[in-house]
Amino acid sequence: MRDTIKNHKDFAMGTNDPTGRCAFFLARAKPAKIPDDARYGLIVTKKTFKHAVDRNRAKRLLRDWIRFNEKLLRPEWDYIFVARRAILDADRQSGRIAMKKALNYMRKLNTDNAE
């Protein structure tokens, strides 16, 4: 399992970074700070989720989906996942499928830009 991003400045993203979207979350990738030690970060704001129970559930779901799709995460990228309100209505299977689609889309975007 990857390590998590903890520093506030490491969450900063560029405008040209690959982005994948779905109803449950927004995913962004950027080159890893340390290439052999790629990480991921979760953004679950109090503005979007008023109750701590909802924030914790959103983070728990995102971690599960990330763990399930670990093989699709590129080792040279750090990932940022921003939870959306609809994540609370998601079930485990539909979230895993949405995560897979978003990661594949981001991978395709990056390979298209590299050519």
Question: Which domains, from first to last, does the chain contain?
Answer: 3-114 (3.30.230.10)
Summarised one tens digit per residue, pLDDT across range 47-72 is 999 999 999 999 999 999 999 998 98
Contact call for residues 78 and 3 (beta carbons, < 8 A): no
The Cβ of residue 55 has, within 10 Å, a number of other Cβ atoms equal to 17
Summarised one tens digit per residue, pLDDT across range 102-115 is 999 988 886 666 55
Q: Whole-prediction pTM value?
A: 0.88
